Amino acid sequence: MQAEARIRDGEIRLSRREGLQTRRNVFAAPADLLVDAGLQRRIAEQSPDSPWQFAYSEIDLAAARIVAVRLSSDGHADGDRLELLRETTVDGNLQRQRLYWSLSQQRLLPSWEIAGARFDSRACAGDCDPPARYYDLLGGLALPSPYRFPVAARRHTLRYVFESAAGTAPPLPTTSEQAVVQRGRRSIVTICPDCGKETAPDADALARYRAANAWVQSDHPALRSLSREARANGSMEARMHKLVRFVQSYMTGERRSLGYASALQAAESRSGDCTEFALLLAALARAQQIPTRVVGGLVYSSHFTDKGEVFSPHAWVQVWNGARWISFDAGLGDFDSTHIVLAIGDGSAGDYAGLLRQVRSLRIVDAGQIASRRNRESGMGNRSSAQR
């Protein structure tokens, strides 16, 4: 998303561009509004050696709203760096963030959140020393598997036990292929072609998953042309398998990426990671009026992390066949029981906000293959194919 705010005559005019769509909002500027230079001047006016706090309003560009902020300091600096606490209340939830102020440079030190990981900068004089080590961003998102799953085992019913760093059962969604039961602080997830009992979508939901949007531009002439090129006769499953093969043969460019490009951008560059493969597949399917949603989660694969026996963040699509949602994976080529859904959406980037942060908080504490339907209902079953 690209966002820009202009303040004039007591009004804030906000323009946000997401994919090919631009949205505009106009709202009144509060009297205590601070942005950039004004905020830094206000901080510089405070005593660095004593505790202080003040309140102000700022613009949340992504959510297109004004938020109330309280900024404070305990008055204890770490060398040149003074730690600040930023507190806001969003939708009734208190959120805290650490910021850092450079006493010598009289400015806030930049910080970033990338793929769920937060990075804070430090001020340095002259030539700064290089980082002590390379930060493996994608590798840091991989969850170790408690067992090794041979290819044959991945075709059978698998069950996983999840815990979260928060100490509560992780809120994983139920799908047609994924059953979720919460027991205490754990979530037990069972995956097979018909394991889950998901409520059928209503007419509005099906219309949403057939429609074009800013990220899945299925009505664009270029994508409609590609969809016609990949059209097949027969069942919906046959048509989807043809589309999967087409996307795999079409996407010939660089496979590694940390961005989130739209389906049209993926078609133009022919490059990207699993999200671009999924969005392009969703667009081509919707161009054929196949209801298609995009899901994000985990998969047992080292394709993007080069690590063995791990579950990595991944994206794929699910289509409605009239009775249930069925998964298709253009990024890896095939769906199996190691695909674990964490988030469901229509392909818009906002549907997956916080997904990678959620991945960092998860832990798989147990896993195994279920031997029979009876075992699938009563317990973990036999780990006949999962190996330590």
Q: What is the mean pLDDT of residues 28-32?
A: 93
Geometric angle at alpha carbon 43, from 38 and 46, rounded to 5°: 135
Which pLDDT band, with edges at 50, 70 and 90, does 18 fall under? low
Q: Structure pTM?
A: 0.69
pLDDT of 61 > 90? The answer is no
Quickly state the pLDDT bin for 101 (edges 50, 70, 90): very high
The topology (CATH level 3) of 140-378 is C8orf32 fold (3.10.620)
How far is CA 313 from each of CA 215, 307, 321, rounded to the nearest angstrom?
Answer: 20, 13, 26
Given this model, what pLDDT does residue 214 score?
A: 86
Residue 354 has pLDDT above 60, yes or no: yes
Q: Average pLDDT of 223-243?
A: 94
What six digits make up the tokens of 190? 């069972």
pLDDT tens digits, one per residue of 172-187: 999 999 999 999 999 9
Please list the residue range(s) of the chain that carry CATH number 3.10.620.30: 140-378
pLDDT confidence of 352, banded at 50, 70, 90? confident
Lookup: tokens for 119: 């990075």
Predicted pLDDT at 165: 87
For residues 46-67, give the mean pLDDT.
Answer: 91
Question: Which of 168 and 258 is assigned the larger pLDDT?
Answer: 168
pLDDT at 134: 44
CB 46 within 8 A of CB 52: yes
pLDDT per position as a tens digit, 275-318: 999 999 999 999 999 999 999 999 998 665 556 789 988 999 99
- Angle subtended at Cα 283 by Cα 282 and Cα 285, rounded to the nearest 5 degrees: 65
388: confidence class by pLDDT, cuts 50, 70, 90: very low
- Cα separation, 281 vs 213, in Å, equals 14
Question: 163 has which bridge partners?
Answer: 363
Q: At a CB cut-off of 8 Å and minimum separation 6, what does 281 contact?
A: 243, 244, 247, 292, 317, 328, 330
